[in-house]
Structures are given as structure tokens and as C-alpha cells.
Chain A
Amino acid sequence: MNPRRKKRLLITSSLIVGLSVAIGLTLFALQQNIDLFYTPDEIINGKNETGIKPEVGQRLRVGGMVLNGSVQRDPESLKVSFDLIDNKAGQVTVYFDGILPDLFREGQGIVAQGVLKSRNAIDAFEVLAKHDEEYMPPEVADALKGMDHLKTQQSN
């Protein structure tokens, strides 16, 4: 083989090896970090599209409306829990230890990210409220469709 061909072969083969390693690593990292979005109803009855229920211990995101009067605080720490509901029958409890966002209110749509602790309880490590009065994540908006009367009552 002449040197130029040899060089090309070397470059091409190292590129292929590098690329496959990179793709493998990427997919592996991806697989571990995909968080599916569920509504409270979907957590209990399975996803609308596939019917698959989340497993206990799985990382996920949940979006719904904070049920009025469900916010309970631990008097000694920042631990807090509240119930999330949607426009179907679902109701799950979210446990969170930390500072809730400025726009967190009862009767408001929120998204929580965390780990499913039991069939209807989530240990959240992050709670997000909508950024302003007009904006709501589309998933949450979908889950709350038809619940507008509740929202208008409570958001004042």
C-alpha cells in the first residue's frame, strides 16, 4: 500500500471506530436520561398512547393541577406535599423538599420531575410552575382541558 492510501485507511477506520463508540455512548447516556411525561391519570391507568404504566422507582415528569387545600407542610423543615389532579380521574401525591417556585399556587398547573415512589406518590426533585400568567406547558394545558372554571376561581 502506498503511504497516501495507508493514511486514508487509517483515518477512515479510526473515524468509523470513533463514531461507533460515540454513538454507543450517546445512546447509552440517552437511555438513562429520558424522562417520560405523565398526567396523574396516566400514572395510575397507563399512558394514553401505549397503555404502559410507569414502574415504581422510575424517573418521570408529571404535570397537573395542584388540588385546592392539599398542600401540607412539615413545620420543622421545607418538606412539602401536595396532590395533583387532571381532567380525568387521576390523583397523585407529590413530595418535595425544597423551595417551591414563585408562581406555585393551589389550583395552578405545575410540572414536577422526580421518581415514582409508590403507585400514586412521587418524590420530586424539581417543581416548575408556569413562567407567567399566559404561559402554560402544552402537556399540562392538555391535561387540564375543560377545567378552566377551576383555574379562574383560584388564580386570583
Chain B
Amino acid sequence: MLPEIGQFSLILACILSLLQTVYPLYGVHTGHQGAIRSAKIFTILQFVAVATSFVILSYSFLINDFTIGYIATNSNSALPWYYRLSAVWGAHEGSLLLWVFLLSTWSIAVALMSKRLPIESVARVLAVLGLLAFGFYLFVILTSNPFDRTLPYFPIDGRDLNPLLQDFGLVIHPPMLYMGYVGFSVAFAFAIAALLEGRLDSAWAKWSRPWTMAAWMFLTVGIALGSWWAYYELGWGGWWFWDPVENASFMPWLAGTALIHSLAVSEKRGVFKSWTVLLALSAFSLSLLGTFLVRSGVLVSVHAFASDPTRGLFILGFLVLVIGGSLLLYAIQASKVKSRGRYQLVSRESVLLINNILLIAALIVVLLGTLLPLVHKEIGLGSISIGEPFFNRMFTILIVPFALFVGVGSLFRWKRQQLNDLKKPLTMILILSTLSTVIFLFTFAPSLTWLAVMGTFLGFWIIVGVIYEIYLRSTHRHRFSKGVMKLGNSHWAMSFGHFGLAVMIIGITMTQNYSIEKDVKLAVGQHIAFEHYDFHFDQVKPHNGQNYTATMGVFTVKKDQQEIAVMEAEKRIYTVQRMPMTEAAINAGFTRDLYIAMGEQLPDGAWAVRIYYKPFIRWIWLGPLLMAFGGLLMLCDRRYRSKKDNIENSENKPAPVGGTDA
């Protein structure tokens, strides 16, 4: 009975989403106030309906209702309760339900938190969100219904969740990532609404900015979590594989990063507006493209769990409609957009333009590398794969100008910057960052490669640039201690964002250049030593978990003869699916990780073992966390919260010249 209610409320939500589109748009068109106001009501009702559906599916997972086909395939009564809950989004149907649920969550957030926006604008935005939701509801209901029953011959127990997904990282990675993906729909809806209205002004940029930032923040955390999970769960110590599905999440992130910068310019200076709109459309379109690539099964990847051609076709159709429709609207309406502001070649506007160009270049590189194999195959030239070196080389090239501009970009003034005024700060930054690089590498690097020198230098260039800029701003009018307190949240947001990037660059540089990776054959009692470390293989013992049996290799690690850790690496066999899994032992540290993963047992009884030394790998995830924290700071900025703020006022007021933050 309960699943039928879930199914029913899903259909109800679908109908409500259509009403949420049609009625408010009709209202806006005819000026019917009641219809305009209905947008909010439909949004709330739709949320209640889809939330009911989602809760029922989760509850059915908890009580092991194997009469539901989806649960029978993806859960098992031996699964711990928290994995039963996260199994809701462990495969195709449920993750789509999560998708629409989150879309509805974002919609209701827009409905409830946009009190200061004109009611017509909110109605339009909600209508667009309703239409998107409608498309996805149809998709779920028609092609991927999570409530399909297995009756009358239901199984006694389920086939279990894929052991790869039985992990804390996978409990939170998909919701975070989806919050990001789906969140860009809000920026998309704002852009479409503005295009429909034919009015793109600074107010529009100001409204969509916090929403975009929130979505970007979630996506950043989501991607970082995915990378972290891959590192410790896949058992070969990599943190990014340029796997098509990783790329699918990275592309909206690049577009989103360009968007938050471009929005800043549009809000402050009223320029780049049509470009910003295009980015808002792209960010969400790329999210959809990612969904298509992942869900259609056209890609070979760890994530490709559903390869049902009708599903692929449906998303492809939806994708074409959304992208085609929005671009058409853009083509018709964009000419109405006039950018009022003027700026000189050397100005902060230009620097941000360069930032955007580089981000889009990176986006194109990823897009090319991801889609080319598909195209190549479709036109009958056979299957190909694009190797990691392609991406690595391209990003190594692109990051240089990008980091150089990030480091000093915030020193540039809006409108116009005298290059002469930058001489002193640039020299200071150059000297200080070179000095830091030398000290850092002298302390942590065993040898020098020019890539390591370059990467570290770029990281410190940004860090020194950020700190120097904070110093300059703080001492502009006050003493440092007083001035630094007066810096706005947005300013700190920018500083943290850039600082996070620097931390990540240093992390990547150190990990890529100074990792030591040994795949060795070890028998119990043997040991291997490199650098200052000595790994002794003590014993192998059995170990049993709730739903798996494991063989555990125990290693004692010494550094310079001092014992620093006992590490236990497991080889698990999950009992239901009889699937072997490697559970790496990781000794984490701020400046280095030690990583041991058991391979297979060889015929003579010895084990194949991976022993890795990964310097500064934590920084790769610390960086994105700092960036996301920056995003959070911006969301807390008073400008986006104050209710008193008058819209009419902010709309036509010329942007402050030489504003202090962006």
C-alpha cells in the first residue's frame, strides 16, 4: 500500500509542477494577480508531494520491503541501516528521485526566500523551475519508476548494494553533487525569466548571485568528496582519473566558476551581461549533459549503472529541448541587453574577462576529451579513449596564466588601472612568493623538477597575492588591525576562494611530483624501506564485518627507526554479491599520507601489495573545502540578507566605482 501512495504522490507532484508552470505564466501574461501568487502555492504543494514520495521510498528501504523491485536489486537485510538509507540513491531510479526532490527543495527555497523580489519575477522563475521539474518527473514516472513492484514473486532478500558504494563518502557525495547540479537550475531559471521579461539589469545579477554561489559551493564540496572517495575506496590511490563521469561533474563546475565571477562584474559594473546569461544557461545545460552521459550508459565508467536506451533517448530529447529552447530564447532576446559600463583595457573587468576565457578554454578541453570518443565511435571510426596525459598537459598549460591572474587580479581597480601603480605590489609579491617557494621546497622536496618549482611558485604567488591584497585594503584608510575588521564578507569570500585554489595547486603539485608508489611482492615477515620509511609485513589475519568477511594484512611502519603506525589493510569479500573489495589502510597526515592496499595473494603465499607515500595529498581536498567556505561567507553577506534593502533603489543606482569587493 505504502509504495502505491509514494507512486501516487509522485504523479501528483508531476501534475503540480505542470500547474506551477502554466498558471503563473498565464497570470504574468494577463496580469491576473491570483494566478501570479499561485506559483508559490504550487511550489509548496509540489514539494510536499515529492517529499512524501521520497520519504516513503527511504522508509521502504529501512524496513527492507523487497516487494519493490528497486529495493530488491539494491539493498539487503544484512546491510547496516545507514547504508540502507543511502542505498536510496545507490542506483538509477532512486538517484533520479533524489534529483527531483532536490530540485523541488531549491524551488521552495526560492519561493520562500525571495520576499524582496517583484512577485512577477518570482512567478516566472518558479514557472521555469516547474517546467524543468515536469520534464524530470515524466522521466522518472515513464522510464525509471523506483516504486515498481516485484509482486507476486518477490525475493526473500535483496541483491545488496554494490559494495563500492557501501561507504561513508557515498552517503554524502551524491546528495552534495546533486545539490550543486540541480542548484544551477536556479541560476538557469533566473536567466530564462530575465530573458522572458526582456530585462537584464544589475538587480537580476544581484538576485541570482547568492543562488549561483550556493549551488557552486555544493558542487565544489561534492566533487571534492568524490575525489576523496575514489582515493581511499578504489584502492589504487589516485585522486582524479579524468573518468568521463568525473569530467561530467567538472564541466558544470568550470562553467559555474566562470559564472560566479562574471555575475560579480554584471552586478558591480553592469557589463558582460549577455555573457553572464549565456554562462548561466551553459552551467545548467552542462549539468544536464552530465546527467545524460552518466545515465544513458553511453559512457564506460564506474558510475554507468543504467544502460537502457529509452532512458538515454528521453534525456537526450530533454537535453535538446532545454538547450535548444534556451539558446533560441537567448538569440531572440539577447540583443535587447545593453551593457552600460565602459572600461579600459587594463582594468579589473579585463582581468575577470581573461579569467572567464581561461575557464571556458579549460571547459572546452574537458568537453572535447569527453565527447570525442563518443563522436568517434558514432561516426564509425571505432572506439578510442583519450589518455590522461592529454588532460594533464592541457591543464598544466592553462593553470599558469590562470594562477598568475588570480594572484594579482584583485589588485586591479574597476574601470581603469594604471600599470605603474602596480609595479610596487607586483615586485613585492614576486619577491615574497619566490622566497616562500624556495623555503617550502627546501623543507619538503627531496629533489627538484621544474614542474614542481612552477606549481609551488604559482601556489605561493596566489597566497602572497591574497595576503598582500588584504593588507593593502586594510591599511588603505585605517591601521591594519582596525581595517582588517572592516573588510566585508564578500571580500573574505574572494580571499578564501583564491587561497583554497592555491592550497589545491600546491597539493596537486607535491602529490604529482613527489609521490612514491611501490607495487611489491611481500611475504609475511618481509619488509620494504624507502625514503625514511620502513614497512614491515607483520601478519595476515581474518576479520569479519556485518556483511563481509575480510583478510587483513597488518603492517608496522617505522620512520627513522621510530615506530609511527600500525596499519591494517583489508581485502574484503562481500557475502551477498561475492564481490572482492580492497579496503586500503591510510595513515593520514597534514604533509603526507601513507597508503597500503592489499592486492591478490600469489600462488606461493606471498601478497602483492601497494605501498604509497603521498605528500600533501590532503591539501587537494582542503583547497576545495576552503573555496566552499568562501562561498558560505559570501552567502552570509548582509547585502544578500537584508530585508530592508529596497529593490527600486538598487536597480538604477550606478554601481560604485572602484568597489572594494567582488
Contacts and interface: CB of A to CB of B under 8 A. Distances in A.
A32 interface: yes
A125 B112 CA distance: 55
Interface string B356-398: 0100010011001100100000001111111111100110010
B390 A35 contact: no
A36 interface: yes
B448 interface: no
Interface residues of B, number: 47
16 contacts: A25-B397, A30-B368, A30-B372, A33-B388, A34-B386, A35-B387, A36-B382, A75-B604, A78-B599, A99-B599, A99-B608, A102-B235, A113-B385, A132-B164, A137-B300, A139-B300
A145 to B, nearest CB: 15
A99 B604 contact: no
A26 B520 contact: no
B273 interface: no
Contact of A99 (B357, B365, B600): B600
Contacts of B397: 25
B304 A135 contact: yes
Given A103-B580, A132-B579, A33 B390 contact: yes
A50 B382 contact: yes
Contacts of B369: 30
From B385, B390, B394, residue with most partner A Cβ within 10 Å: B385
From A7, A10, A34, residue with most partner B Cβ within 10 Å: A34
Interface in A123-138: 131-133, 135, 137-138
B124 interface: no
Contacts of B473: none
Interface of A: 7, 10-11, 15, 18, 22, 25-26, 29-30, 32-37, 47-50, 59, 61, 73, 75-78, 97-100, 102-104, 113, 131-133, 135, 137-139
Nearest to B401: A18
Given A33-B386, A50-B381, A78-B521, A100 B368 contact: no
A80 to B, nearest CB: 9
A15 B235 CA distance: 44
B2 interface: no
B227 to A, nearest CB: 18
Interface of B: 162, 164, 235, 300, 302, 304-305, 307, 344-345, 357, 361, 364-365, 368-369, 372, 380-390, 393-394, 397, 519-521, 577, 579-582, 599-600, 602-604, 608-610
A30 B609 CA distance: 34
List 5 tightest A-B contacts by C-beta distance, closest first: A37-B383, A99-B599, A33-B390, A33-B387, A102-B580
A50 to B, nearest CB: 7
A150 to B, nearest CB: 19
Contact of B389 (A15, A32, A47, A139): A32
Contacts of A73: 602-603
Nearest to A111: B300
Nearest to A76: B521
Given A32-B390, A49-B380, A78-B520, A99 B385 contact: no
A30 B386 contact: yes
A37 B368 contact: no
Contacts of B609: 99
Contacts of A78: 519-521, 599, 608
Contacts of B305: 135
B577 A132 contact: yes
A37 B582 CA distance: 28
A133 B599 contact: no
A138 B520 contact: no
Given A29-B390, A99-B610, A138-B300, A34 B345 contact: no
Contacts of A47: 382
Contacts of B582: 102
Contacts of A34: 372, 384-387
B577 A133 contact: yes
A15 B361 CA distance: 12
Contacts of B382: 36-37, 47-50
From A26, A49, A61, A73, residue with most partner B Cβ within 10 Å: A26
B304 A36 contact: no
A30 B390 contact: yes
Nearest to B342: A4
Given A50-B382, A100-B600, A102-B582, A33 B519 contact: no
Contacts of A138: 300, 307
A92 to B, nearest CB: 17
A141 B511 CA distance: 36
B384 A37 contact: yes
